[in-house]
Amino acid sequence: MIQALNGARQLATATMKRTATELRLPVPWGELRGQVWGPEEGRPVLCLHGWADNSGSFNTLIPLLPQEWRCVALDMAGHGLSSPRPSGVFYTFPAYVADVRRVVEALQWKRFSILGHSMGGNVAGMFSAVFPEMVEALVLLDSYGFYPTNTKSIPEPSAPPHPLW
């Protein structure tokens, strides 16, 4: 048993030597930043951090994932090295979903997986619901998640929608 534990420790230290490159994406209010691991042609995986975190949240996990994956850990707007939103602009889930769309378009990813932690998991769930054709797999860590709903069980509105909606 001790031999197996020693082997696991050696594997982890050898794997941890993977280095990340920097991601910098211009946006109208500054730039979104992050870290990138793996080959350009690798399986694309977008990693979204929690509210009190940044892309560094994935520094320990990503080196343990398959090296042929292309992992991009994003510093979401106002977190880590990414620019804060302009004064008076709120940090909302729809705004973060729009940021994710902006990032994957810049990366030219048509289909990818998302690994989301906490708030990042909620953003990932919303993105997956809005753009299901783009999401190959979704992994939520410490996130409340979303329950599937059969659209037939959603009641029809009793009144026509408001013209502003």
Q: Report the pLDDT averaged over residues 114-126.
A: 96
* Residue 113: pLDDT band with limits 50, 70, 90: very high
For residue 31, give both structure tokens.
């730039």
CA 76 to chain centre: 9
Stated length of the chain: 165
The upper half-sphere exposure of residue 129, i.e. CA atoms within 13 Å in the direction of its Cβ, equals 15
- Tell me: pLDDT of 73 over 60: yes
Tell me the C-alpha distance between 134 and 113, whole Å: 8
Between CA 12 and CA 17, with CA 15 as vertex, the angle to 5 degrees is 120
The answer to whether 104 touches 74, Cβ cutoff 8 Å, is no
Question: What are the tens digits of pLDDT across the range 152-162?
Answer: 776 776 766 65
- Please tell me the least confidently modeled range out of 101-110, 120-129, 138-147: 138-147
Question: What's the pTM?
Answer: 0.80
CA 113 to chain centre: 9
- Tell me: pLDDT of 130 over 90: yes
- Tell me: pLDDT of 110 over 50: yes
Active site (catalytic) residues: 118
Q: What is the DSSP letter of 80?
A: T
* Residue 143: pLDDT band with limits 50, 70, 90: confident
- Please tell me the least confidently modeled range out of 18-22, 23-27, 32-36, 67-71: 18-22
- Quick one: which of 125, 115, 35, 37 has its CA closest to 79? 35
**Domain architecture of the chain: domains with CATH:** 15-153 (3.40.50.1820)
- Quick one: which of 120, 141, 40, 139 has its CA closest to 73? 120
- Tell me: pLDDT of 13 over 90: no
By DSSP bridging, strand 43-48 and strand 112-117 are parallel
